Structure 1
Amino acid sequence: MTTINPIIPGFAPDPSVTRIGDTFFLVNSTFHLFPGLPIYASKDLVNWTLIGNAINRQSQLSLHLSDTKLEPQEDGTVMLATGGLFAPTIRHDPQSGKTYIINTNVLHPENAGDKPENFIIETDDIWSDNWSDPVYFDFDGIDPSISWDDDGKSYICGSHGPGPMTTISLFEADLSTGKKLSEEKTVWKGTGGIYPEGPHIYKKDGLYYLLISEGGTFKDHMITVARSDNILGPYEAYENNPILTAAGTENYVHCTGHCDMFQDNEGHWWGVCLGMRMRGSRFHMGRESFLVTGHWEQGDWPRLDTVEVNSSHKFKNDIVKATKTGLDWLYIRDANLQHHKIEGSTIRLTASKADISQWKEPVSFVGKRQRKLEGTASVTLTLPKTGSSRAGLVIYKDEHRYTRIYYDSGNKAVCFEVVNNAKKIGRRDQEKISDESPDVRLLIEYTDDKLTFQYEEEEGVTKTLGVVDTAELSNADFVGPVIGVFAVSDDENNEAVFTDFEHEN
């Protein structure tokens, strides 16, 4: 079996894997986007198919308080910390036949600190895309994970308390009710790196191994491990920690961490981790899912190989397929889905009064993850003959960072805009076009280096309106680029009609 990375390209952080029979299932974080927690399936760990989303009904939970905070760092940069659905863990229980996902919805109440809402969802058939409503449990932390002991007892471990010096806590729980069946116990504080988080417990050769992430989720990210002869500890740290990191290297794939380990049918060990393709100050794609080979001899400690990919690597698996049309569409937070109609190649958006530059009100936007470093996206917008509106094509990360090309009916102009509040970037340009035209074709060409925004008022005549260096949208953050269409208007029931949306995702 050959590792071809990233296995899930684009916006795919915090991977977790479980195996059911001969099929592997992977889940990722989604933060402020709906539907949440995508589920991918693979039989060979190379080719992955999107089979559903565990949070696929707005009635399951609300993402309203998942705004993005600007957090200045000591080095003068600004981290963008988005709320919503943090690192999930997926586990299958062969005894009950149920598959569980345990997760945190991080709320950002106004004028208050983070409020984590931890929950468990389950399904009897992972292929059905039918997941339960959340069962909430009391835990003041994030990144929960599930373990079962030999006696059938189920345990939850997670990263407890506010950062940066969090601790790893463990308690017995009833997964059907969320009720704690034991006192919460601190079982490890890590090796001294900041933000000990993302814990997973594995039992092997009669010992319990606790795998965690430390050092923060960026350039100092690392994986460390400890073990004990009792699930409740005490845990002894491995003397050769960390077992995975790109810190202090010039690797193209950096920030590797937040790992989950698993075995294939032949007994080989693997790890899935997040990583970022970084070239200088450019890492526009954000955190993606990578596969690493593992080694775990009897009685020994687990080891993980380095993610070895260079900037000239030809990626075989750039496109992730879906089992049915529509699974890969994404909306922002608690969108009004009645205002989004997708019929074949036509998208109709009832324009929202609120723009994507804010988070408090729903916005009319639908898009798909950018999966490839190089490609194009385009759409044809029917020009409105009445009212005042703005509608077009956008690369969106959060309310602080986006770049777009759109038609402003009030000015009868095609406009280009790039915004990154964390870097104090804000540019805009426009060109008048004839309001006699029936439509305008909007285009984005993207590479590792730059984003080029173009339009065609008449077929075959392409004009460039704006160019963005991808470094301008690269930040320490949690999310990745989503390419889609949006519509904004002060007028009630103003509709934007898009046709032939094309995006190589």
Structure 2
Amino acid sequence: MTTINPIIPGFAPDPSVTRIGDTFFLVNSTFHLFPGLPIYASKDLVNWTLINTKLEPQDDGTVMLATGGLFAPTIRHDSKSGKTYIINTNVLHPENAGDKPENFIIETDDIWSDNWSDPVYFDFDGIDPSIFWDEDGTAFICGSHGPGPMTTISLFEADLSTGKKLSEEKTVWKGTGGIYPEGPHIYKKDGFYYLLISEGGTFKDHMITVARSENIWGPYEANEKNPILTAAGTDNYVHCTGHCDMFQDKDDQWWGVCLGMRMQGSRFHMGRESFLVTGHWEQGEWPRLDTVEATSSHKFKNEVVKTNKTGLDWLYIRDANLQHHKIEGSTIRLTPSQADISQWKQPVSFVGKRQRRLDGTAAVTLVLPETGSSRAGLVIYKDEHRYTRIYYNSGDKIICFEVVNNGKKISRHDQEEISSESSDIKLLVDYTENQLVFQYEEEEGVTKTLGVVDTAELSNADFVGPVIGVFAVSDEENDEVVFRDFEHEH
């Protein structure tokens, strides 16, 4: 098999994989963007189809920061019951309180359907839960317990249908000394229980370590050759590799799927993506993983990631008011929100799709509002702290460009007056690995550049990745803003 990397490009962190028959299913984190938990399917680990997404916004009085929301899901199939499970953490931010992790399980009898159960919540003070069934059918949940950098790996027996703990929770491993021991997965092979975890944080010191025990409760002995996967201390193009899940294909070949970041100096605009790595696991031996490499990737493919249903690849910000978003083919109608994308407490009128390619173009035609005062346009969005956009301010009749990265204290703005009496205006962004060029056309074929962004300006230790979309905001109640001919190579 020829490996194509990244297998899920763009905003696709924390991958987990399970195989059902001859098909592999992969799920990612989505953090504060909705719908959550995208599920991809593949028969060859190269060509992937987005088959469904599982969680929609809900109004429950809580909000999510960019580092909140849906963390590190694990997907598992129980061959005995025929059920498929996703276990996950939703990190909320209640008013006047700290982060609040809510852990839950959802299940389905048919992964191809949209018929998933409601979430079953269980008591666990931590993140990154994973499911393991022992040979007698006993179900266990392991996860990263506690806040702060020195978390521990906890284990307990559970009833997956109710979330009830059937045993005491026990700390089974603290890792090898790296910060944030997390993302645990348990595998049983050759009479040993193997515990695979991430350490070192999810960026430049990220690494995968492993321990084993003859008893699921431990004690666990660390592999002398840890870490078995890392790019720390190297100049590898694919960096920050970690958060790995291991699995076998139908020919018993071992693989690992992990997150990584394509880094060119200080530029890593695409964020954390899903990569495939060859694994080796001989009888009685420790698992090994090869170095993660990027390939010439998907330039020969018509689509990087296919979808099998209309609209699956649209993304919204947090608790979006879906009544204010109308999508009909390439036409988008947004009722402007009073809150802008620069904040995290209120709903925002925004919809977009993940940037899947390093090089490409996105464009949309904005029908200029005849009344009211709104700001609407095209944006490359990561979170409330990092975005860049070109938009029309209908109150002042100007075209504006803006780039914001609060982490790097970057805030730039430029603007130009509209010179013609056109009824619409085309907004464009050309993007490469190195830069983003924002342009507009008042007259067809006459393109003006308003802003250029070095992708290093938007590169941070992000949880999320770039989403290209449209937005509309206003300080007053306004009629719908209409966008035509939204084009995005993805």
TM-score range for the pair, normalised by the shorter chain length: over 0.9
Say which is worse superposed, 251-260 or 119-128, in terms of deviation.
119-128
Say which is worse superposed, 125-134 or 142-151, in terms of deviation.
125-134
Cross-structure match for 1:4: 4
**What is the alpha-carbon distance in structure 2 between the residues aligned to residue 300 and residue 111 of structure 1?**
50
Cross-structure match for 1:53: 53
**What is the alpha-carbon distance in structure 2 between the residues aligned to residue 125 and residue 415 of structure 1?**
48
Partner deviation per Cα, 1:207-253 (whole Å, 9 max, x = no partner)? 11000000000111000000011111111101110000000111000
Q: Aligned ranges for residues 264-343 of structure 1 at < 5 Å?
A: 264-309=249-294, 316=300, 319-343=304-328
One of 211, 215, 218 as aligned partner of 1:230: 215
Cross-structure match for 1:24: 24
Cross-structure match for 2:185: 200
In the TM superposition, residue 258 of structure 1 has moved relative to its aligned partner by: 0.1
Cross-structure match for 2:417: 432
Cross-structure match for 1:73: none
**What is the alpha-carbon distance in structure 1 between the residues aligned to residue 299 and residue 379 of structure 2?**
25
Instruction: Quote the RMSD (CA, aligned, Å).
Output: 1.3
Is the 1:4–1:316 Cα contact (8 Å) retained in structure 2? Answer: no
The amino acid across from 2:57 in the alignment is Q
**What is the alpha-carbon distance in structure 2 between the residues aligned to residue 50 and residue 95 of structure 1?**
26
SS in 1 for 2:72: coil
TM-score by length of 2: 0.98
SS in 2 for 1:325: coil
Q: Aligned ranges for residues 409-448 of structure 1 at < 5 Å?
A: 409-434=394-419, 436-448=421-433
> Percent same amino acid among aligned pairs?
84
**What is the alpha-carbon distance in structure 1 between the residues aligned to residue 93 and residue 259 of structure 2?**
24
TM-score by length of 1: 0.95
Q: Is 1:401 aligned to 2:386, yes or no? A: yes
Cross-structure match for 2:109: 124
Is the 1:18–1:262 Cα contact (8 Å) retained in structure 2? Answer: yes
SS in 2 for 1:208: strand
Instruction: Name the CA shift for 1:200/1:468 in 2 (closer, same or farther; >3 Å).
Output: same
**What is the alpha-carbon distance in structure 1 between the residues aligned to residue 2 and residue 359 of structure 2?**
24
Cross-structure match for 1:497: 482
In the TM superposition, residue 47 of structure 1 has moved relative to its aligned partner by: 0.4
One of 64, 67, 85 as aligned partner of 1:66: 64
SS in 1 for 2:320: coil
SS in 1 for 2:64: coil
In the TM superposition, residue 113 of structure 1 has moved relative to its aligned partner by: 2.5
Instruction: Name the CA shift for 1:307/1:65 in 2 (closer, same or farther; >3 Å).
Output: same
Q: Is 1:155 aligned to 2:140, yes or no? A: yes
Partner deviation per Cα, 1:335-391 (whole Å, 9 max, x = no partner)? 000000001121000111111111111010000000000000000000011110010
The amino acid across from 1:463 in the alignment is K
What is the number of residues matched between the two proteins?
489
Instruction: Name the CA shift for 1:375/1:292 in 2 (closer, same or farther; >3 Å).
Output: same
Q: Is 1:454 aligned to 2:434, yes or no? A: no
In the TM superposition, residue 275 of structure 1 has moved relative to its aligned partner by: 0.1
The amino acid across from 1:39 in the alignment is I
Is the 2:144–2:184 Cα contact (8 Å) retained in structure 1? Answer: yes
Partner deviation per Cα, 1:111-148 (whole Å, 9 max, x = no partner)? 43221100001111111122221111000000000000
**What is the alpha-carbon distance in structure 2 between the residues aligned to residue 403 and residue 357 of structure 1?**
11
Cross-structure match for 2:332: 347
Is the 2:14–2:274 Cα contact (8 Å) retained in structure 1? Answer: yes
Instruction: Name the CA shift for 1:316/1:251 in 2 (closer, same or farther; >3 Å).
Output: farther
The amino acid across from 1:401 in the alignment is R
Is the 1:62–1:334 Cα contact (8 Å) retained in structure 2? Answer: no
Partner deviation per Cα, 1:146-192 (whole Å, 9 max, x = no partner)? 00011111000000011211000000000000000000000000001
**What is the alpha-carbon distance in structure 1 between the residues aligned to residue 115 and residue 289 of structure 2?**
34
Name segments (4+ residues, structure 1) moved above 3 Å: 61-64, 312-318
Instruction: Name the CA shift for 1:11/1:370 in 2 (closer, same or farther; >3 Å).
Output: same
In the TM superposition, residue 63 of structure 1 has moved relative to its aligned partner by: 9.4
SS in 2 for 1:102: strand
Cross-structure match for 1:467: 452
Q: Is 1:240 aligned to 2:239, yes or no? A: no
**What is the alpha-carbon distance in structure 2 between the residues aligned to residue 355 and residue 294 of structure 1?**
45
In the TM superposition, residue 434 of structure 1 has moved relative to its aligned partner by: 3.9
SS in 2 for 1:240: coil
Segments of 5+ residues of structure 1 without an aligned counterpart are: 69-81
In the TM superposition, residue 109 of structure 1 has moved relative to its aligned partner by: 2.7
